[in-house]
Amino acid sequence: MKPSLLTAIEPKPKTVAEFFRGHPERWTKRSMYRGRQGNSCSLDTAVCACLGGAVNFVYGNDCHAIVDKLSGLAIDRTMKSDYPTSNFAAYNDWPATSFEDILSLAEAANV
């Protein structure tokens, strides 16, 4: 099987910030992973990922502390907004969230 664009990244990023930095085309909303046609898919055929997909790609299943850290920062960032969020996945999918917001969140969390 031909590797996806994500699984073919060499060297594999050590952080989520590294995964996204300089690559806005690697980010998506409302789906863990998307394929070449924009459809939801598995990592095996993905060309981009949401923040949660990037966390899973970089850290695998052992990512609970990362998820907690990102969710805490996302809640802090949206607390005074019109759309307070309860976790980082909702923040990723929030209509006003941009690629720069996601990269900034990953960098602030140092993950």
- pLDDT per position as a tens digit, 55-96: 999 998 888 888 888 988 888 888 877 767 788 899 899 888
pLDDT tens column, 19-28: 999 999 999 9
Helix intervals (H) in 1-111 = 16-20, 51-59, 64-78, 88-93, 99-109
| Domain spans in the chain, listed from the N-terminal domain onward | 16-109
- Look at residue 48 and tell me whether its pLDDT is greater than 70: yes
